[in-house]
């Protein structure tokens, strides 16, 4: 889930956007800083799945169809262009859209597709007509820093295939946009098995929750012969699991959890809520490969009770023998 979304209310009103459309556009506007860059016959786009929108903006909607309807509303408002591949939605900003957070010197926060293709760039510290703009800001400063709404966000864990360097995406400046770009790190690897096309949930393999959800969902279907339900709540639970256990092991624990033979979990069909209740304990079970169900716990409890009872009996015998010895002294 994206923690912070910055909305330019002046532009939203000017363009006639309602609150839902403004919220979505504020998120879409940041896509060039983290989304996969895709080259098509009609130019450069950024990959943005409907599932990604649902996952990152739970306050907006929990329905992919609604997310796509809102994207089309932004297209009709002249703010984005839409395209698609066989598996994912593609978007790119229009020239009008770039006015959303244009810097004081008139330069764009994110470059145009022509710039990405190698067009000569203009340094953000230069001015064609300085007298019309007024006093320039100091180098490296911004009225609204571009990284203010990208810190601590899930989208920073996305992999990117951007063809330009960080310096290219800064319009020649030294500092302003670098932090948002250098926070992008790769966590992706090819799935070990083919992912069925009908698996619910995120389809973008660069999505933070994809690997953990896919391992849980595939294990679930193998056991129960049906896919688990995917919705906004489930997406949030997967995110919480990753935050608690770490992205490097959460997928393994999720798959292991579905294989635990415990009557309580089976009655609950190994729901994610049950995994979250004792996530750290299931992590220990996975790490030690020692399942702990109610029967095993009762056996250990009985063993300990028998041991304690035996120790008490031995102690009583020793006390009795000690008293008899004292009587003949």
Digit-by-digit pLDDT tens for the chain (329 residues) are: 777 888 888 888 889 999 999 999 999 998 888 888 888 888 899 999 888 899 989 889 998 889 999 999 999 999 999 998 877 899 999 989 888 876 444 555 555 444 444 433 433 444 444 444 444 444 444 444 434 444 344 444 444 333 333 333 334 434 333 333 222 333 345 566 778 889 999 888 888 899 999 999 999 999 999 999 999 999 999 999 999 999 999 999 999 999 998 888 999 999 999 999 999 999 998 998 887 666 666 776 777 877 787 787 778 777 777 766 666 55
CATH of domain 9-182: 1.10.10.10
Name every residue whose Cβ is closer than 8 Å to that of residue 96 and which is 6 or more positions away in sequence: 15, 78, 79
CB 140 within 8 A of CB 166: no
Q: Which two tokens stand for residue 93?
A: 């900003």
Q: How much is the pLDDT for 131?
A: 42
Name every residue whose Cβ is closer than 8 Å to that of residue 189 and which is 6 or more positions away in sequence: none
**Rounded to the nearest 10 degrees, what angle do helices 279-288 and 232-245 cross at?**
60
Burial class (CB in 10 A: 0-12, 13-18, 19+), 127: middle
Whole-number Å distance between alpha carbons of 120 and 114: 9
Smallest CA-to-CA distance from 31 within 253, 211, 184 is with 184
Whole-number Å distance between alpha carbons of 37 and 32: 8
CATH 1.10.10.10 domain locations along the chain: 9-182
- Residues paired with residue 90 on neighbouring β-strands, in sequence order: 47, 83
């Amino acid at each position: 889930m994206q923690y912070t979304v910055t909305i330019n209310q002046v532009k939203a009103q000017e363009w006639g956007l309602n609150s839902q459309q403004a919220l979505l556009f504020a998120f879409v506007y940041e896509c060039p800083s983290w989304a996969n860059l895709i080259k098509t016959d009609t130019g450069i786009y950024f990959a943005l799945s409907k599932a990604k929108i649902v996952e990152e903006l739970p306050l907006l909607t929990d329905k992919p169809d609604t997310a796509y309807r809102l994207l089309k509303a932004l297209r009709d408002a002249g703010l984005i262009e839409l395209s698609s591949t066989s598996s994912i939605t593609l978007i790119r900003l229009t020239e009008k859209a770039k006015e959303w957070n244009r810097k004081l010197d008139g330069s764009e926060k994110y470059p145009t597709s022509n710039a990405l293709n190698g067009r000569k760039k203009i340094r953000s510290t230069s001015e064609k007509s300085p007298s019309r703009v007024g006093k320039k800001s100091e180098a490296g400063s911004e009225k609204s820093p571009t990284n203010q709404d990208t810190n601590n966000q899930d989208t920073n864990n996305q992999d990117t295939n951007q063809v330009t360097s960080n310096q290219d995406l800064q319009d020649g400046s030294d500092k302003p946009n670098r932090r948002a770009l250098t926070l992008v790190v790769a966590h992706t690897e090819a799935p070990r098995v083919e992912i069925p096309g009908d698996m619910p949930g995120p389809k973008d393999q660069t999505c933070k929750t994809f690997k953990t959800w896919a391992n849980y969902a595939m294990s679930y279907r193998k056991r129960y012969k049906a896919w688990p339900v995917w919705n906004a709540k489930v997406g949030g639970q997967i995110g919480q699991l990753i935050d608690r256990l770490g992205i490097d092991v959460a997928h393994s624990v999720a798959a292991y959890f579905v294989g635990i033979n415990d009557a309580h979990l089976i009655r609950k069909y190994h729901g994610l809520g049950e995994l979250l209740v004792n996530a750290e304990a299931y992590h220990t079970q996975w790490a030690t490969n020692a399942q702990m169900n109610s029967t095993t716990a009762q056996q250990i409890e009985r063993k300990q009770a028998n041991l304690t009872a035996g120790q008490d009996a031995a102690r009583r015998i020793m006390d009795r023998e000690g008293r008899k010895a004292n009587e003949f002294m």
